[in-house]
Structure 1
Amino acid sequence: MNIHGFLTQKISQAMLLSGLSENCRPQISQSEKERFGHYQVNGMMALGKDLGISPKTLAKKVLEKLDLHDIAHKVEIISPGFLNIFLEPRWLAIQIDNVLSQDTLGITPIKKQTIVVDYSSPNVAKEMHVGHLRSTIIGDAMARILEFLGHHVIRANHIGDWGTHFGMLIAFLEKQKIKNYAKITLNDLEILYREAKHAYDQDVKFAECARRYVVKLQNGDEYCQTVWKQLVNITMTQNQMLYDRMNVTLTPKNIMGESLYQNMMPDIISDLKSKKLAVHSQDAVVVFLKEKHSRSGELTGVIIQKKDGAYLYTTTDIACIKYRCETLHADRVLYYIDSRQNQHLTQAWEIARQAGYIPDSVQLEHHMFGMMLDKNGKPFKTRTGDIIKLSCLLDEAIDRATRLVLDKNQNIPKKELKAIAEIIGIGSIKYADLSKNRTTNYIFDWNHMLSLKGNTSPYIQYAYTRVLSIFRKANIDLEKRLSGSTYLLNNPSIELALSLLRFDETIKKVAHDGMPHILCAYLYNLASKFSQFYETCQILEEKDKKIKQSYLKLAQLTAKTLKQGLSLLGIHTVERM
C-alpha cells in the first residue's frame, strides 16, 4: 500500500474535475505535526500564482471535487491554501489487514528496469580500508532495495586490475625470484607493491623492465597473463572474505575490472576519430568537449590516448559505459564512487553520449558521498596517521559489541555470544554510516553507534526482539497468519499503523533518490512508534480478544517490517539481546 501514491491519484482526479490542466501536479507530503493531519497538500500556492487565483479559492474548488469518502474523516483548508488530510482509522485498519495478507509487505508493483549499480571498487594488491566502507555498504543497500522492488539489478565491482602497476609487480616478483604465488597473502602483496613502486621510482632500468612487462601483458603474453590472474585472485579472495563477513552481496561473478574493456579501446578510438569527435593534438588523441571552456576561454580537451599509445582512465570509462548500455542493456546506471571523480565521470559520459553509445533514455547517476571523520573533524585514521584497515575496524566493533552483550547477560553461551556480537557489531558500523545523508561527511562515534538509545542499529534490533518476546510469551508463531479484523482504538495504535503503511512510499523514495538514510530514519521512527504503542497498550494483558488480536497483528507487522528493512540495509536481526 502506497498512501502517498493513492492520495496523489485522488487529488489529481479532483484537480482535473475542478477544470485544472492535467499537467498540474499536486504536491503531497507527510505532515510534520499531528495538528496538520496525516498528509498535507501544499501545491496550491504555486498553482494559484500561475493561474491568477487565490490559493485558498483554488483549494476550495479542489476540495469540492475530492472524493475521500471512508478514507479520510476530515479534510480541512488552512491559510494560505493548504489541504490537511486526516485519514480514517477504520480505513487504515483495513489496509493493515491487506498488507498482512500479502508476502510483499504491501509493496506495490513497479515498472521493471535493468539497473547497474557500480560500487566498492577496491584496489588490487592492497587491503581494503575504511575509505572503501561507504561505497561498499551504500551501494550494496541500494542494490538490495532495487532488487526487492523487482528491478533486474546488475552489481558491478569495477576494480583496477590493469595497467602499469601490474608490470611493476610482475617485474619485481621476477627480480626477487618469487615463484610460489600460492603462499603470498594480500598483506605480503601490499608490501611487495610498495617495494616495487619504490624500485620503479628510483631505478631507471627496473622502470624500463616494468614497462616491457606491461606491453607483454597487454599483448597477451601467457606468462604475464598467468601471474596477473594470480595477483588479482589473491586480492579478490581476501576481499570476498570481507564481503561475506559484512553481509555484502558482492561475489566473484560481479567483478568487472578495467581489463574487461581493454579489447574495446582500439575500436572506440577509431570510431571517435571517424565521427570527428577525436582529433590528434600534440601527438595525443583528444576530444574537445562542447561548451566546456577553460579559464582561458578555450574548449576543454580530454586526452583519450597518449602519444605512446597508452589509454587513460577516461577511455576505460567510455568503454565501460558503452558496455553497460549496449551489452548489459542498462536503463539506469548508479555510480557509488568518490565525489572527486565527478568531473572525470561527467566528461566520459558526455563523450559517450556524443558518440551515440548512450541512449537518451538511459539515466546515469553519480551518487557521491562524504568522508568518515574522527571526533576532531579529521579523516578517520589511526593515532600514527595510517589509514585503518577495514578488517581491523570490524574486529574492534565485534569486541565492543561482545562487552555490550555481556554487560546485559553474563550467562549467555559462548557460541551464541559470538554470533550475536558479530551481528550487533558489524550491523552497528553499517547502520551508523547508512543512517547519515550520503552527501555529507560524518563523525565516527563508537559510543553512539552501539547505544541502545537513539537512531542506532541496536535500538532497532532491540525493538525487533521485543516483539519476538511477546509472541514467545503468547506461544504464537510469529509467521502464523492471525485471524480477525484489525481495530485501531487509540492514538498509539493509529500512529503505529500509519508508520507501518508508509513502508512502500519510503522504499520507493530511497530507490529514486539513492539515499539509504531515508530508510534508516523510517525504521527508527517505526521502532519509536512501536515503543510508545508497547508502553501504552498492554498487549498480552488485554482482556478483549478482538483488541488483543489487533494489538498482536500490529506487533507482528512491526517485526516483519523491521526485519525486512534491516535486511535491505544488509543488517541481520537477533532473536534476543
Structure 2
Amino acid sequence: MGLWSKIKGKGTQFRGPPAVGEAIKNNLPTSEMIESCSVAGPGFVNVVLSKNWMAKSIQKMLIEGIDTWAPMPPVKRAVVDFSSPNIAKEMHVGHLRSTIIGDTLARMLEFSKVEVLRRNHVGDWGTQFGMLIEFLFEKFPNFEDANETAIGDLQAFYKASKQRFDADPAFKEKAQQAVVRLQGGEDKYRRAWAQICEISRNEFHKVYQRLGVHLEEKGESFYNPYIPEVIEALTKQGLVEESQGARVIFIEGVNIPLIVVKSDGGFNYASTDLAALWYRLNEEKADWIIYVTDVGQQQHFDMVFKAAKRAGWLPHGDGSYPKTSHVGFGLVLGEDGKRFRTRNTEVVRLVDLLDEAKSRSKAALIERGKGEEWTEEEIESTAEAVGYGAVKYADLKNNRLTNYTFNFDQMLNDKVPKQLLFICCMLMLESVQSSGDLVKTLRN
C-alpha cells in the first residue's frame, strides 16, 4: 500500500503493509456509516458501507431534496476553462476529454451552489487567420455572402489555405500582411475574421448541444486588448526582464523563463493567459479558476500561476483564496499508441463519434423489439440519451491522468450497460421524487 512506502525504514513498529492496514482498521472511529472493515492481501483496507445508513441517507434525500447532499466549498464564484477548440478546425475526439471533464467539474460546483462561469477559451486569434482571410477573399470575392453551405467542410478549407500558404510565396506574403491589417483593426479584415469565427462557432454549438454542454465563449481575441496593460503593470513591478531580445518573467526553480513578449514584439499564449487570469480575478471576481487541459500544459500553467503569485494577484498559501488549479488529463491514443488518427491521417471528428454512438444505440433498441413498442420520436430521443451517455461514461471511467486508447467498439459497447443503468436510475429517482404519495409514506 502507498502509506507503507512513506514510513518504511523510519523506525516504526510496523513490519509490513498488512500491519499498517490492521492499525488503520483498529483505529477507525465508530460510525453508523461503516458496516464492516477488513484488511486483505498486501494491506488493502476494505470498508463496507452500512446498508441502513445508505437507506436513511437516500430517504432523507427524497424527503428533503438532493440539494441537502451538496458539500459547501468556501467559494462563491468559480471559472472553469474547458473545451477550447481552435477556430476553423473541427472538434475531434481529442477535444472530448476537456469538454466532458470540464462539464463534470462545472456541474459538481453548480450542485454545491457555486456560481460557475463556464469559459470556452477558443483559439480565435493569431497568425493563421492571415492565410484563412486571404484564402476566403480568393474563393469568395464577396466574402460576406459565404456561409457554411458555400464554404463546406471547414477543416478542408483550413487545409487548403495552409497548402497554399506553404506552396505560394506571393500568397504567403499577402497572408502575413493580412495579419497586420487584422490586428490593426482594418474593417474589411475584421469582418472576414468575424465571418470565419461565426461559421466555426455554429459548428461547435451543434456538438455542445448534442452533448448537453453549455459554455460561454471568451476566446483569445477577447483578452487581447488587456495584454499591453497587464504586461506594463508587471514590468513596473520589476517582474518582466529582457532576455535575448524577448521580454520574460523568470520563475524560481524553472530552467526556462516565461516569455510574455516575443523578440519580434508579438504576444503569445503566456501573454494571453496572464491577461485572462488578471481579467478573471479583477473583473469577474472569481474565487477559484480551474483550467482543464492535457497534462502536456502542466508546466506552462504552473509558470503562469507562479508569475501571478509573484505579482501579488494570488496568495502564496495553497489553502487560500482566490486560487487557481490545473486539471490535467491524458491524451486519447490510437491502437498504435500514437495520438489518435484515422487511417487517412485525419483526426476522427467528434460529430462522427456521436453519430456512431446514436446509430449503434438505435440499432440495439430496435433489435430488442422497441421499434414495435415505442414511437419513432421515443426511439430517437432514447438512442441519443444512451449513445451520448455511453460516450461520456466511456471517457470518465478512465484514469484522468493517463493516456487511453480510443476504440469505437469498446467505447460504444452495449454489453456493458452501466451507463444505461445509470440513466434508468436517474429517471426512476425523478419519478420517485415527483410522487407525492411515496414521499408522504417516507415521512411517516
Matched with 2:185 is 220
Using the size of structure 2 for normalisation, the TM-score is: 0.82
**2:249–2:259 Cα contact (<8 Å) kept:** yes
User: Separation in 1 of the partners of 2:35 and 2:391?
Assistant: 44
State how 1:150-165 maps to structure 2 within 5 Å: 150-165=113-128
Deviations 1:327-373 (A, max 9, x none): 12222221111222222222222222212233443332211111233
**1:272–1:355 Cα contact (<8 Å) kept:** yes
Q: 1:272 to 1:235 in 2, by over 3 A?
A: same
Matched with 1:306 is 262
Q: 1:454 to 1:357 in 2, by over 3 A?
A: same
Matched with 1:390 is 350
**1:432–1:456 Cα contact (<8 Å) kept:** no
Counterpart selection for 1:431 from 373, 381, 393: 393
Deviation at 1:187? Answer: 4.1
**1:321–1:358 Cα contact (<8 Å) kept:** no
User: Separation in 1 of the partners of 2:288 and 2:273?
Assistant: 16
**1:116–1:155 Cα contact (<8 Å) kept:** yes
**2:36–2:47 Cα contact (<8 Å) kept:** yes
Deviation at 1:244? Answer: 0.5
Q: Secondary structure at the match of 2:69?
A: coil
Tell me whether 93-102 or 128-137 shows the greater mean CA deviation: 93-102
Counterpart selection for 2:251 from 271, 289, 295: 289
Matched with 2:133 is 170
Q: 1:479 to 1:420 in 2, by over 3 A?
A: farther
Q: 1:334 to 1:209 in 2, by over 3 A?
A: same
Q: Secondary structure at the match of 2:250?
A: strand
Matched with 1:419 is 381
Deviation at 1:422? Answer: 1.3
Q: Secondary structure at the match of 1:333?
A: strand
Matched with 1:543 is none
Counterpart of 1:482 in structure 2: which amino acid? V
Counterpart selection for 2:160 from 177, 186, 195: 195
Deviations 1:157-197 (A, max 9, x none): 00111111112222222334432444332644433322322
1:231 and 2:193 matched: no
Give the gaps of 5 or more residues in structure 2.
none
| Number of positions where the alignment pairs a residue of Structure 1 with one of Structure 2 | 424
Matched with 1:130 is 93
Counterpart of 1:127 in structure 2: which amino acid? E
Q: 1:479 to 1:427 in 2, by over 3 A?
A: farther
Counterpart selection for 1:370 from 322, 330, 343: 330
Give 1 or 2 for the bigger CA radius of gyration: 1
Q: Secondary structure at the match of 2:66?
A: coil
Matched with 1:114 is 77
1:482 and 2:444 matched: no
Tell me whether 279-288 or 240-249 shows the greater mean CA deviation: 279-288
Matched with 1:334 is 290
Give the gaps of 5 or more residues in structure 1.
1-41, 294-299, 487-545, 547-577
1:240 and 2:196 matched: no
Q: Secondary structure at the match of 1:308?
A: coil
Deviations 1:290-347 (A, max 9, x none): 2323xxxxxx233221233211111111111111111122222211112222222222
Tell me whether 182-191 or 109-118 shows the greater mean CA deviation: 182-191
User: Separation in 2 of the partners of 1:78 and 1:339?
Assistant: 34
1:275 and 2:237 matched: yes
User: Separation in 1 of the partners of 2:26 and 2:85?
Assistant: 58
Q: Secondary structure at the match of 2:88?
A: coil
Q: Percent of aligned pairs with the same residue?
A: 35
User: Separation in 2 of the partners of 1:396 and 1:73?
Assistant: 43
Counterpart of 1:205 in structure 2: which amino acid? A
